Amino acid sequence: MDYVAPKTAMEASEALVQDGAFALAGGTDLLVKLKTKFISPNIVVDIKQVPKITSIEESMDGWWIGAATPCAEIVEHESLCQDWPGVVEALSLIGSTQIQGRATLGGNLCNASPAADSVPALIAANGTCVISGQTGEREEPIENIVISPGATVLAKGEFILGFKLPKPPSGSGDAYLRLIPRSEMDIAVVGVGTSVSVDKNKKITSIRISLGAIAPTQVILDGLEDIFIGKEPDEDSINKLVSLAESACRPIKDKRGTIEYRTKIAGVLAKRTLNIAYERATNH
């Protein structure tokens, strides 16, 4: 097995084109898979030296978060935390302090687990990602990246350079909650990211909810506009949200939770994240 640490995006793409090449960011998924012999790479391409891939930048257009920025650095970024508390909450749940010193958003997304914590929050935040390849860069919505457990749309030689999040308009808030049986070091039974914006009268102007671990890939809830736009959330709309979330579930029954349980929790967490996000939006 070879190891390279290219200094430019182009060199990284050239290395990644080879058969059996794997990108290495924090390695918290990759090394586990290596050690358990789940994968046996021919070449490991450490992408952390590629320019911009570990930087966080704020501009008029919004946020840039380099795909290989360790979560621990993102958590400490104060103004990002103010703009996207739910996104930061989500990635701050990954593993533990030690894991977050290495774990990255690019790795969390490209590992393509339905239970990845940061992904529903990033989708709810309307994030996009910049993909770098041999022919240059392209931008894709985050929800387009994962196609099935363990599989992404990335072509040979492609990797994620970074994520773009919009600057939230005033009156916005987001939230992420997951359910795990333990209190940390666990994998989400269900994770829900919710982002809302409100007008001066506290009426909802936009809403986006994404659920993780309830289907082979993250799910975006459809039909929220009809229920919530122009209104404050009330019992009736929340009940509708709960049913919508429950009916979006296409979970597998496995050791982490029965179908009935995941479905029920999807509704509960959708409701709870909406309450938190709405509360944040009205105070933003």
Residues that bind other proteins (CB under 8 A): 179, 181-187, 189, 254-258, 260-261, 264-265, 268
Q: Which residue is nearest to ligand FAD (CB)?
A: 107
Which of 12/221 has CB closer to ligand FAD? Answer: 12
Say how far apart CA 169 and CA 185 lie, in whole Å: 34
Q: Kindly state the tokens that stand for 179.
A: 């359910």
Classify strands 43-46 and 2-4 as parallel, antiparallel or unpaired: parallel
Residue 71 near residue 42, CB atoms below 8 Å = no
Of the residues 9, 15, 94, 276, which one makes contact with ligand FAD according to CB under 6 A = 94
Which of 151/229 has CB closer to ligand FAD? Answer: 151
Exposure of 263 in the CB half-sphere (CA atoms within 13 A): 13
Which of 6/191 has CB closer to other proteins? Answer: 191
Residue 196 near residue 171, CB atoms below 8 Å = no
Of the residues 110, 213, 274, 277, which one makes contact with ligand FAD according to CB under 6 A = 110
Residues 156-195 that bind ligand FAD (CB under 6 A): 159-160, 185
Calculate the dihedral angle through the C-alpha atoms of 136, 62, 153, 14, rounding to the nearest 10 degrees. 30
Alpha-helix residue ranges (DSSP H) falling in the chain = 9-16, 30-35, 71-75, 78-83, 85-92, 97-100, 105-110, 118-124, 224-228, 235-247, 259-283
* Stretch touching ligand FAD by CB under 6 A, among 94-102, 196-204, 228-236, 262-270: 94-102
Q: From the CB of 102, what's the least distance to ligand FAD, in Å?
A: 5
The listed partner (ligand FAD, other proteins, none) that binds 17, CB under 5 to 8 Å by sort, is none
> Would you tell me which residues interact with ligand FAD (CB under 6 A)?
22-30, 32, 47, 67-68, 93-95, 99, 102-104, 106-108, 110-111, 116-117, 154, 159-160, 185
